[in-house]
């Protein structure tokens, strides 16, 4: 049985609120866009930026390619970004884990056609990844030729969920010998 909502998290103790999700999207570095062609899924890793006011994700790719073709025929996409922390060893196989945080967003993707919005999307990427560099000072402005060779995409977010399991301790069962201190040190405990 599947949940009624796409953003239902089964382990509610890890669920995060909208404020946390927005902060995570703002700082996360790499995302993955899942599109499809009929029944064939396709995953694309992207550098992206989150525009909070309108709840949009912007990124760019080649002018033509599989993602563009998929999105023009099937605009429903899923977006994911995550980070991993420490590995969490245990003395019980079932309790091995990892610190993680992630956001999954569902929405519709579109190719940005407006020159103003295209520039907005590209400049947002530059500000996110190179905040200390200024257009027209540290680097040449984007040219019309460069605009014409670049596809900018926008995901209009409809639903999202975020979760975080960042346990700072490991589970050790008293019914089995404890992990060796060398193992604990190796994994940062």
DSSP secondary structure string for all residues of 159-187: EEEEEEE--SS----TTSPPPPHHHHHHT
Q: How confident is the model at residue 15 (pLDDT cuts 50, 70, 90)?
A: confident
Q: How confident is the model at residue 167 (pLDDT cuts 50, 70, 90)?
A: confident
Model pLDDT for residues 71-112, shown as the tens digit of each residue? 999 999 999 999 999 999 999 999 999 999 999 999 999 999
Q: Is-above-0.95 flag for pTM? A: no
Domains in the chain, please, with CATH?
12-87+99-170 (2.30.110.10)
pLDDT higher than threshold 50 for residue 2: no
pLDDT higher than threshold 70 for residue 171: yes
> In DSSP terms, which residues pair with 135 in a beta bridge?
139
pLDDT of residue 161: 94
Query: How far does the chain reach from its first CA to its final CA, in angstroms?
Result: 39
Q: Where are the beta strands (DSSP E) in the chain?
A: 30-37, 40-47, 49-51, 56-62, 76-88, 97-111, 150-165
Cβ pair 80, 31 in contact under 8 A? yes
Question: What is the chain's mean pLDDT, rounded?
Answer: 92
Exposed/middle/buried for 70, CB within 10 Å: 0-12, 13-18, 19+? buried
Of 166, 57, 65, the C-alpha closest to 112 is: 57
Cβ pair 158, 121 in contact under 8 A? no
């Amino acid at each position: 049985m599947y949940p009624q909502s796409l953003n239902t998290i089964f382990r509610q103790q890890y669920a995060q609120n909208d404020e946390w999700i927005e902060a995570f999207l703002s700082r996360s570095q790499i995302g993955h866009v899942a599109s499809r062609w009929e029944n064939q899924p396709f995953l694309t890793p992207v550098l992206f930026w989150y525009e909070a006011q309108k709840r949009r994700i912007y990124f760019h790719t080649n002018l033509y390619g599989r993602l563009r073709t998929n999105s023009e025929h099937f605009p429903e996409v899923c977006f994911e970004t995550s980070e991993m922390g420490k590995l969490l060893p245990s003395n019980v196989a079932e309790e091995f884990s990892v610190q993680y945080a992630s956001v999954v967003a569902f929405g519709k993707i579109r190719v940005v056609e407006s020159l103003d919005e295209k520039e907005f999307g590209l400049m947002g990427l530059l500000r996110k990844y190179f905040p200390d560099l200024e257009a027209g000072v540290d680097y040449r402005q984007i040219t019309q030729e460069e605009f014409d060779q670049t596809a900018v995409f926008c995901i209009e977010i409809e639903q999202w969920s975020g979760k975080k399991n960042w346990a700072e301790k490991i589970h050790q069962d008293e019914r089995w010998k404890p992990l060796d201190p060398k193992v604990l040190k190796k994994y940062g405990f």
